């Protein structure tokens, strides 16, 4: 899914930024798709920490 950052869709009175929520969904999906079939706990934890940092970097 391609998202135009220059057009952050707003819902209702503008309190929900749909762009950010779609981006969070995309990052989560990328993490889930990238998990190996035999997950290594430390590797998955590192990937999850990176995902969480990316999510919290949105303002």
pTM above 0.95, yes or no: no
Position 58 in a domain: no
Q: Which residues pair with 40 in a beta bridge?
A: none
Q: What CA–CA distance (Å, rounded) separates 11 from 32? A: 27
Instruction: Identify the pLDDT of residue 43.
Output: 67
Position 57 in a domain: no
Give the residue ranges of DSSP H helices in 1-59: 18-34, 41-56
Q: Which two tokens stand for residue 42?
A: 């430390």
**CB hemisphere CA count around 19 (13 angstroms):** 12
Q: What CA–CA distance (Å, rounded) separates 8 from 41? A: 35
Position 59 in a domain: no
Domain count, the chain: 1
The answer, yes or no, to whether residue 6 has pLDDT greater than 50, is: yes
Position 31 in a domain: yes
What is the domain range of residue 5? 1-38
Q: What CA–CA distance (Å, rounded) separates 36 from 22? A: 24
Position 47 in a domain: no
Most confident of 6-10, 24-28, 35-39, 47-51: 24-28
Position 50 in a domain: no
Instruction: Identify the pLDDT of residue 14.
Output: 55
Position 13 in a domain: yes
């Amino acid at each position: 899914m391609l998202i135009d950052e220059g057009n952050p869709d707003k819902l209702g009175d503008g309190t929900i930024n749909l762009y950010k929520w779609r981006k969070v969904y995309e990052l989560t999906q990328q993490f889930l798709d990238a998990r190996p079939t035999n997950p290594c706990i430390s590797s998955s934890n590192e990937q999850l920490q990176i995902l969480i940092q990316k999510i919290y970097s949105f303002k």
